[in-house]
Amino acid sequence: MLYWIMKHIVVGPYVKAVYRAWVRGIENVPATGPVIIASNHLSVLDSVFMPLEVDRKVTFLAKSEYFTGSGFKGFITKVFMTGIGQIPIDRSGGKASEASLNTALQVLAGGGVLAIYPEGTRSPDGKLYRGRTGVARMILESGAPVIPMVMVDTEKAMPIGSKLPKVHRVGMVFGEPLDFTRYVGMESDRFALRAVTDEIMYELAKLGGQEYVDVYASTVKAPRADSALPKAS
């Protein structure tokens, strides 16, 4: 109910009227059954724009920090993230990450739409970075079809570090389904997981025309954050 209210009454009408997003290939998203939408990640607003264009409920995996904040701001953030269909994922590894994976698989087992950002974090500079293999494991364990999808210019509407969004027209391109049936039964093979992930990233680069960089985005962000610190004399 909260998702429907946020999408059709509170957030959706305003965002659609202001940003006038253009969309291509939406017909590639199946009307029923489980499906994984694998997208690039340019802005925190990506998780707002995409669900407005997909008729079905879209569930996102979001970092758990969005759900654990304190005070009034933390409460509002948690309510908003829950309202737009996000579920927390623990990125610390081990049993916590395993539980997050199982939650995602439950969404697919129920015939739902799961959206995931293979890069694992937002791009620091608009380029497309190496994908994490967690998405491949979900694909092979669930058997769900995969729709590659790219966000366009959302980083201009809400650049990293900005507290308020800017009015800038954005776009979305949904590609044709990808077939990974040749890897069935290989969800424990790290080479198969990497091959699946790399194929997804190749399709995303082809759809959006982003420059691809074969390193993890998180390794690019860390040095930039460190460079902002004063150097010891």
The per-residue pLDDT for 70 is: 77
Specify the amino acid at residue 6: M
Q: Rounded CA gap, 43 and 124, in Å?
A: 9
Conformation bin of residue 44: beta by default, left when phi > 0, alpha when psi is -120 to 50: alpha
Is residue 18 domain-resident?
no
Q: Rounded CA gap, 69 and 55, in Å?
A: 30
Is residue 19 domain-resident?
no
The per-residue pLDDT for 228 is: 45
Is residue 21 domain-resident?
no
Question: What domain range includes position 123?
Answer: 2-6+26-222
Is residue 227 domain-resident?
no
Q: What is the domain-level CATH number for residue 169? A: 3.40.1130.10
Specify the amino acid at residue 109: A
The per-residue pLDDT for 96 is: 59
The per-residue pLDDT for 137 is: 92
- The percent helix, strand, coil of the chain (3-state, each to 5) is 45, 15, 40
Instruction: Name which of 144, 136, 151 is nearest 200 in CA terms.
Output: 136
Classified as helix, coil or strand, 47 is: helix
- Whole-model pTM over 0.95: no
Is residue 83 domain-resident?
yes
Total domain count for the chain? 1
Residue 27: is it exposed, middle or buried by C-beta count within 10 angstroms (0-12/13-18/19+)? Answer: exposed
Is residue 229 domain-resident?
no
pLDDT tens per residue across all 233 residues of the chain = 778 888 889 889 999 999 999 999 999 999 999 999 999 999 989 989 999 999 999 998 776 676 777 788 777 777 777 777 677 776 665 565 677 778 889 999 999 999 999 998 899 999 999 999 989 999 999 999 999 999 999 999 998 888 899 999 999 999 999 999 999 999 999 999 999 999 999 999 999 999 999 999 989 865 554 444 444 44
Is residue 13 domain-resident?
no
Report DSSP state, residue 58. E
Average pLDDT, rounded, for the chain: 87
The per-residue pLDDT for 93 is: 56
Is residue 92 domain-resident?
yes
Token pair 């920090």 is found at: 65
The per-residue pLDDT for 140 is: 95
